[in-house]
Amino acid sequence: MNIVIIGASGKTGQLVVQQALDAGHKVTAFMRTPEKLTLAHERLTIVQGDATDSEAVNSAVKGQDAVISCVGSNNGLGKTTILREMAGTVAEAMARNGVDRIVYMASAGIDKEIPGMIGKMTMKLLGNVLEDHRNAVEVYKSYDFRWTIARPMGLTDKPYTGRYEETLEGIPSGSKSISRADVAEFLVRAVSDDQYIYQSVGLASKE
């Protein structure tokens, strides 16, 4: 597949680029800071740009089969709309170019699905970011796209394990964290697996 990865310079995004290449895909890495990505590959194209820049995003999305979005907010824990804005720009570019497959990395808690005190603490601490993720998801759902939403628990920099739980309801019953490498593996696998279309998937490590 031809896949554009939005947010490819982030910690998770870089791992998605590597795993997508390992899986045999042709990858366009869209990022603000290309120097963060040290990979070089014959199937890798690096495009510099901001995900709120409609012209830059349109250029990156053109000719792709699918989009994987790993964008995050740089606004700390404060009120933010940047994720919603980026989703709007990406969605418009997808619609304009006839690209209908999107895998979006959000976060556990976007559906207020974390129970008990942990859920309350999560909403209190991360409520603004989660709301922005939720609004971004609604943007993609408002189009005629084949979407998949990933809802990982707390992200770590631990090595890839390939051992993680998936759930369509609530959160996984095991760990409260998952490695970025395992999340990257899921995102790349999901983009070409029809069973994940129109699914919001909670992710957590089995370790």
How does pLDDT run across 146-186, given as a tens digit for each residue?
A: 999 999 988 999 999 999 999 998 888 878 899 999 999 99
Q: Please tell me the least confidently modeled range out of 51-55, 71-75, 120-124, 154-158.
A: 120-124
Say yes or no to pLDDT of 123 above 80: no
- Give the CATH architecture of domain 2-205: 3-Layer(aba) Sandwich (3.40)
Name, in order, each residue with C-beta under 8 angstroms of 83's C-beta and a sequence gap of 6 or more: 71, 72, 73, 129, 132, 133, 135, 136
For residue 201, what pLDDT is reported?
A: 97
Which are the contacts of 131, defined by CB distance < 8 A and separation ≥ 6? none
User: CB atoms < 10 A from the CB of 76, how many?
Assistant: 9
Please provide the average confidence, as pLDDT, over all residues in the chain: 92
pLDDT range class, residue 77, cuts 50, 70, 90: low
Joined together, the tokens standing for residue 23 give 């899986």
Q: How far is Cα 8 from Cα 16, in angstroms, rounded to an integer?
A: 8
Q: Is the pLDDT of residue 128 over 70?
A: yes
Mean of pLDDT values over 10-38: 95
Residue 111 has pLDDT above 90, yes or no: no
Q: Crossing angle of helices 54-61/82-97, nearest 10°?
A: 50
User: Does 42 have pLDDT greater than 80?
Assistant: yes
What pLDDT sits at residue 80? Answer: 83
Q: Residue 74: is its pLDDT beyond 80?
A: no
